[in-house]
Structure 1
Amino acid sequence: MVGGIYLMLNNYLLTKLVAFIIKKNFISPLEDRELSSLPVPTPTPTNLEPLITEVPEIQTSPLLPGLPPDYEQLPPLAQQQGSREVSNNIAVKTNLGHYPFPENSQQRLVKVGEYYGRSESLDQEAATAFKKMQADAQVQGVRLTIISGFRSIASQDALFQNQIKRKGGKEAAARFSAPPGHSEHHTGYALDIGDGDNPANDLKINFENTSAYQWLARNANQYGFELSFPPNNSQGVSYEPWHWRYVASPRASQIFMVA
């Protein structure tokens, strides 16, 4: 009797144990479907490269190439001695009262005459205007001669050095001759004019008393020419009644905008 009860209890416990083992090790189809619908987390890598790498230094160039290294340290325009404001934010630096001018190319130069055997040329625009003016003056009995037209920077340097010797210094020389790189003659639009009937007054103040000057004073502007250095000019250059410049074309007026 006791043995039978023991056997029944043993079978019951064995049944419960088997059911427990099945419960622990197997998942029902419903549970399996619910679990499979869950998102699978992405494993976190352990050896990622840095997302932001070092940015190399960018080498920049100035917006305006050719400016001097100390350009930003220049004093305000109002404090710059010997400069002239051309617009609201541009100033042109002068050299002893003379403004810098570019040297014209040989391809644009046209021969307009000779002076004591030396060939004289002008820019093609100025040359056309001068020849017309010269011809019209001739009709009226006035002989306009060209003393000096285009002049290279090298030639101007030789002239300026000679003036330094004669006048005793650069400042004194600059009242009568422009430093190299600062002569209107470099442009091919400026020229020295003489009176063919009074060559003794060439490059002299007395040229203003000749018929050639008096004709120019009345008519030169009609051909696009103006006197470069009238009495008491703002540059402080001595009065030169023989020195004229052509300003009637867009190119010429742009060049002489600073003057």
Structure 2
Amino acid sequence: MSPARLAALALALLAFGCAATQEPSVLALDRMGRSSSVEPGIARLDVRLREALRAATAAAEVDGVDIVVNSGWRSRAQQAQLFEAAVAEHGSEAAAAAWVARPGTSAHEAGLAVDVGPQRAADWLAEHGADHGLCRVYDNEPWHFELDPAAPDRGCPPTYADPTDDPRLQGRGTRSGRLSPAGG
């Protein structure tokens, strides 16, 4: 992804109030247990995903890696705005769908997905995330991870090329061992 695309995505996520803090996510996740004022992008994550992130973040810290949650839960309206921005950037809904799930189909809307950074953190999660039930889902989105409770025992399933390759987003079924997003 180009630096311009990353900057545009970060700005869009900041506008939604659900992303891009500079503090490691472990701090935001720790506050989650003590404060109801934590941003909805973290607070509305599935509790199992939050717990997996806490464990992974603590393990990553031991390796000197800070995991930052750039985006977590999103409302359908936020997902629609992201999708519309992707259509404007890529020229068509079909092209945009390779980068942003259509509204009503995103695991983010169900609180079952996070986008993490920086790249070092995404690389660490790609290597160690299965130990914590966190799996990378798309080849073209190395920052996107979803909860997979079977991963600690079986490892992560193969990734999809992009969201257009994901049958959960087309209503054609579910991925074995992977939770289905609500409304997807």
1:167, CA displacement in angstroms? Answer: 1.3
Higher relative contact order (CA 8 A, sep 6+): 2
State the alpha-carbon separation in 2 of the partners of residues 172 and 114 from structure 1. 24
1:223 corresponds to: 132
* Alignment counterpart, residue 145 of structure 1, candidates 65, 68, 72: 68
State the alpha-carbon separation in 2 of the partners of residues 213 and 163 from structure 1. 22
2:144 corresponds to: 243
SS in 2 for 1:220: helix
RMSD (CA atoms): 2.4
**Larger Rg over CA atoms:** 1
Q: Pairwise mapping of residues 21-170 of structure 1 onto structure 2 (< 5 A)?
A: 115-116=20-21, 119=39, 120-121=41-42, 122-170=45-93
Q: TM-score, normalised by structure 1?
A: 0.43
1:88 corresponds to: none
1:114, CA displacement in angstroms? Answer: 5.9
SS in 1 for 2:123: helix
Q: Which amino acid aligns with 1:247?
A: D
* Aligned residues of 2:21 and 2:68 also touching (Cα < 8 A): no
* Alignment counterpart, residue 255 of structure 1, candidates 161, 167, 180: 180
Q: Which amino acid aligns with 1:214?
A: D
Q: Which amino acid aligns with 1:115?
A: A
Any stretches of 5+ residues in structure 2 without a counterpart?
1-17, 23-37, 151-176
SS in 1 for 2:143: strand
Q: Pairwise mapping of residues 199-210 of structure 1 onto structure 2 (< 5 A)?
A: 207=119, 210=120
State the alpha-carbon separation in 2 of the partners of residues 169 and 218 from structure 1. 34
State the alpha-carbon separation in 2 of the partners of residues 141 and 177 from structure 1. 31
State the alpha-carbon separation in 2 of the partners of residues 253 and 170 from structure 1. 26
Identity rate of aligned residues, in percent? Answer: 31
Q: Which amino acid aligns with 1:255?
A: S
Stretches (4+) displaced over 4 A: none
Q: Which amino acid aligns with 2:144?
A: H
In structure 2, relative to structure 1, the CA distance for the partners of 1:151 and 1:144 (3 Å cut) is same
State the alpha-carbon separation in 2 of the partners of residues 169 and 254 from structure 1. 29
1:254, CA displacement in angstroms? Answer: 4.2
Any stretches of 5+ residues in structure 1 without a counterpart?
1-112, 196-206, 231-238
Residue deviations 1:89-113, cap 9 Å, x none?
xxxxxxxxxxxxxxxxxxxxxxxx9
In structure 2, relative to structure 1, the CA distance for the partners of 1:158 and 1:137 (3 Å cut) is same
1:169, CA displacement in angstroms? Answer: 1.1
